[in-house]
Amino acid sequence: MKLPLRLAVFGVGVAGLGFLLVWGVADLPPFGHYAGPYGDIITKLVEPQRHMANAVTAVVFDYRGFDTMGEELILFSAASAVALLLREIRERDTVDVVDAIRSDAIRGLGVLVAAATLLLALYVVSHGFVSPGGGFQGGVVISAAFLFVFLTGEYHAYARLMPTKFAEPLESFGAGAYVALGLIAFGFGLAFLENFLPLGVTGRLRSGGSAALVNWASAFAVAGGFLLIYAEYLEGNMAARYRRSKP
């Protein structure tokens, strides 16, 4: 395409988008004013109904737990698709994978940071109904802890710590446990994913009833999913770099 024509097409697109944007923004409620009733209702009801201090996690894993299950399965299928597409060459097709970083100081620091990150992750997951955080965020932080092991130079250590054969069951267990917890509620004569455990005391670690278990299930599924995605990329990259000349 010639440049003037491209500019003309671009101009029409930008004018249309600009119009829609201004139109949309002009009708928004004033900055800082909240018009919808749901947020106010939830913040009033969440403590007496569910004994949870964090309304966000309460909505995610209890009030709309079924929707979250759908999101969970989106991540599950995305991770599976990445594994399916990228799994063309494997570590057994390689020779002499070399760890790039040989400094003991960096390795030591890596182990330290990884351990601290894992601790933070478990804190974020377990306090999901008390303070900001929860299964999804904590799950991703769990996976980040293993990334630090890789980033500080030890592909071998990373592969030994979290090979694909651990990431896959972790992801499947989490996704399966989420659905199973929903089905267990049927056994108590309740609706799918309805709470079937004592709710506990608000602000305590054991508050939240069975939604706390759903929270952990999603943490495992998310951590497993992200680890599987990392593993496919990292193993594929290592395999491509140190590939045998004749397969």
Partner 1 sequence: MVPLQSIALLFVALGALLVVLVRDVVRQALILSLYGFALVVLFLVFQAPDVALSELVVSAVAYPLVVVAAIARIAAHRKRRGE
- What is the contact surface with partner 1 in residues (CB under 8 A)? 54, 56-57, 124, 132-134, 136-137, 140-141, 143-144, 147, 226, 229-230, 233-234, 236-237, 240-241, 243
What tokens appear for 46 in the block? 């969440």
Which lies closer to partner 1 via its Cβ, residue 79 or residue 175?
Answer: 79
Question: Minimum Å distance from CB 143 to partner 1?
Answer: 7
Which lies closer to partner 1 via its Cβ, residue 155 or residue 184?
Answer: 155
CA distance 235 to 172: 20
69-to-19, 72, 176, 178 alpha-carbon distances in Å: 37, 5, 10, 7
Question: Minimum Å distance from CB 233 to partner 1?
Answer: 4
Instruction: Kindly tell me the burial class for residue 147, based on how many C-beta atoms sit within 10 Å of its own C-beta (0-12, 13-18, 19 or more).
Output: middle
Which lies closer to partner 1 via its Cβ, residue 134 or residue 182?
Answer: 134
Which lies closer to partner 1 via its Cβ, residue 69 or residue 222?
Answer: 222
Question: Minimum Å distance from CB 176 to partner 1?
Answer: 23
Q: Which of 141, 99, 103, 106 is nearest to 121 (CA)?
A: 141
CA distance 6 to 126: 54
Helix axes 104-126, 211-241, angle to 10 degrees: 150
Question: Minimum Å distance from CB 10 to partner 1?
Answer: 14
CA distance 199 to 211: 9
Which lies closer to partner 1 via its Cβ, residue 65 or residue 133?
Answer: 133
Question: Minimum Å distance from CB 111 to partner 1?
Answer: 18
